[in-house]
Amino acid sequence: MIKISALFLILFIGTTTCLDLSASSGVILPSIESKNELFNMMVQVRSETNQNTISGFVQQLRDLLNNLVQAQNKHKEVHNKMMAQCKEENNFRTREVRRARRAHANALAARSKCEVSLNNAMRQLPELVTTRMVYHKELTRAQQARNFEVSKYVQRRKVLSEAVDFLSTFLAYVQKRLAKEYSLLSLSEDLLKHANKVNVLPEASPILAELATAMILSAPPGSVNARNFKPNAELRQRLIGLLTQLLNRLVADSKNNDEDEAKAAAVFEVYRTRLTKVIATLDANIARVEAQIKKMRNCMDVEGGVMTTAAKKLARNKKLRYDAVRMCHAFNTEFIEATKNRLNEIETMKQILDIVAKRFKRLPKDLVAYLESVANGWRAYINSTPFKEFLEYQRKTFQVNKRGKLLSESNADEDGNPVSAVVRGAQGIA
């Protein structure tokens, strides 16, 4: 872009400097001096007092005509180069405008997609966080309930274990048939205490009744404090049976307590595992959504930057194309006006020749033929398709409406190019 633009400006500056394309130049553009010279010549030719000979007038006309033809040929050559460069610059800027517009549209579409994805993720994130909090609370509640159940299990297992140990000791005392007397009151109190703890008072009542009966029967006559037990075979057998039955019951209860705990632990583990998996899935989804939010925000920033760059590029290339078209328009206008003005000068030369012919009664045939040939060629060129295309180029490029906007822009192509089909005439001005 910079290279072509630079070449374009260098060519324009070079041509305007080296070939002197200014309105005051007599090399290419018709100058005021040349016009004045023609007018002075016409006055001299018409004046009978003028001492200039026919050869002087003819040579002066020949020189003027040669200079005019040379200037037109130089102007055509420069115009050809300039219009070719105008076409190249216009095509290049049009491609850049198209690329910038396409880049902007693509970035806008991509940014819109990222924005939709970002909005969806922003809506999902609070829902996921709330759901995870609910599951965390449920897991905490279930764990607390489980801890309470475990504490109850441990307490009941301890109580049952102590009761089993006591009954085993009690049964051992009874089975040994101790010869010495020992206190039944202490055993009764301990049995009542353990039975109450393990909630087997109904099962322990027969044993307590037997112990009470034994203490009453073994008390001396008139005694109210029967605390010592004396061995009794029949009573011992009944106690062994009752104690064995109660012991078996407590052992069974202890086993059931362990089994219930194992089942409860298994059920809780399944439930805890399921909650943990759900929470892990929610954690992963939250992390994914957070990453998506970060990615989409970055996407919007990147695509926004692309849009900004593309918009600047679009504006810059449209302005450069507009400036180039204006410069080409001015150069083309200059060429058209110069060509028409030179034709007017040729017509003036013909008028001078007619006056010379009337005054001197003769003219060089080669000069007349040369002038007529140049005039015919000029008129043919002005009426030619290439020259008319230059005129159409002027009409298309810079017709300004009341609002100051180029009318050509309203008829521009999709890339805003008002001169997409111009400068074809450059092929016919060589």
Q: Is the dihedral of CA 307, 309, 312, 316 positive or negative?
A: negative
State the Cα–Cα distance between residues 135 and 276, nearest whole angstrom.
Answer: 9
Q: For 256-298, how does the pLDDT look when each residue is reduced to its tens digit (9 = 90+)?
A: 999 999 999 999 999 999 999 999 999 999 999 999 999 999 9
- Is the pLDDT at 108 greater than 70? The verdict is yes
Least confident of 120-124, 125-129, 202-206, 270-274: 202-206
Whole-number pLDDT of residue 277: 97
Whole-number pLDDT of residue 201: 52
Q: Is the pTM of this model over 0.75?
A: no
Whole-number pLDDT of residue 389: 81
pLDDT bin (cut points 50, 70, 90) of residue 178 is very low
SS3 78: helix
- Find all residues with CB under 8 Å of 229, minimum gap 6, and list them: 181, 182, 183, 184, 214, 215, 218
Mean pLDDT of 174-192: 57
More confident residue, 34 or 89: 89
Nearest residue to 417 via CA among 328, 350, 318, 320: 318
More confident residue, 172 or 288: 288
262-265-267 Cα angle (round to 5): 110
pLDDT bin (cut points 50, 70, 90) of residue 14 is very low
State the Cα–Cα distance between residues 343 and 382, nearest whole angstrom.
Answer: 9
Tokens 């204006």 map to which residue? 326
- Is the pLDDT at 99 greater than 90? The verdict is yes
Tokens 């016009």 map to which residue? 35
- For the record, the structure tokens of 250 come out as 């407590």
CA atoms within 13 A on the CB side of 364: 13
Identify the helix (H) or strand (E) that includes residue 386.
helix 385-397
- Find all residues with CB under 8 Å of 395, minimum gap 6, and list them: none
Mean pLDDT of 301-320: 95
More confident residue, 187 or 425: 187
Q: For 216-253, how does the pLDDT look when each residue is reduced to its tens digit (9 = 90+)?
A: 555 555 444 444 445 556 666 776 777 788 788 888 88
Highest mean pLDDT among 41-45, 58-62, 111-115, 204-208 belongs to 111-115
- For the record, the structure tokens of 198 come out as 């393990």
Q: For 349-385, how does the pLDDT look when each residue is reduced to its tens digit (9 = 90+)?
A: 888 778 777 777 777 788 888 888 888 888 888 888 8
- Is the pLDDT at 304 greater than 80? The verdict is yes
CA atoms within 13 A on the CB side of 94: 17
- Is the pLDDT at 254 greater than 90? The verdict is no
SS3 400: strand
Asked whether 160 and 250 are in contact (CB, 8 A), the reply is: yes
CA dihedral 189, 194, 197, 198 (to 10 degrees): -140
Radius of gyration, alpha carbons of the chain: 61
- For the record, the structure tokens of 252 come out as 């069974």
pLDDT bin (cut points 50, 70, 90) of residue 127 is very high
Mean pLDDT of the chain: 75
State the Cα–Cα distance between residues 382 and 20, nearest whole angstrom.
Answer: 24
Give Cα separations from 69 to 15, 28, 339, 353, 356 (angstroms): 19, 10, 10, 17, 22
- For the record, the structure tokens of 390 come out as 């230059």
Asked whether 395 and 430 are in contact (CB, 8 A), the reply is: no
Whole-number pLDDT of residue 109: 96
Amino acid at 317: N
Least confident of 14-18, 321-325, 395-399: 14-18
Asked whether 243 and 167 are in contact (CB, 8 A), the reply is: yes
Whole-number pLDDT of residue 384: 81
Q: For 44-72, how does the pLDDT look when each residue is reduced to its tens digit (9 = 90+)?
A: 666 655 545 667 777 888 888 888 889 88
State the Cα–Cα distance between residues 419 and 407, nearest whole angstrom.
Answer: 12
Asked whether 408 and 398 are in contact (CB, 8 A), the reply is: yes
State the Cα–Cα distance between residues 45 and 348, nearest whole angstrom.
Answer: 12
- Is the pLDDT at 77 greater than 50? The verdict is yes
Amino acid at 201: L
More confident residue, 48 or 12: 48
Could you please report the per-residue DSSP string of 225-283? Answer: ---EE---HHHHHHHHHHHHHHHHHHHHHHHHHHHHHHHHHHHHHHHHHHHHHHHHHHH
Mean pLDDT of 404-430: 43
Whole-number pLDDT of residue 396: 74
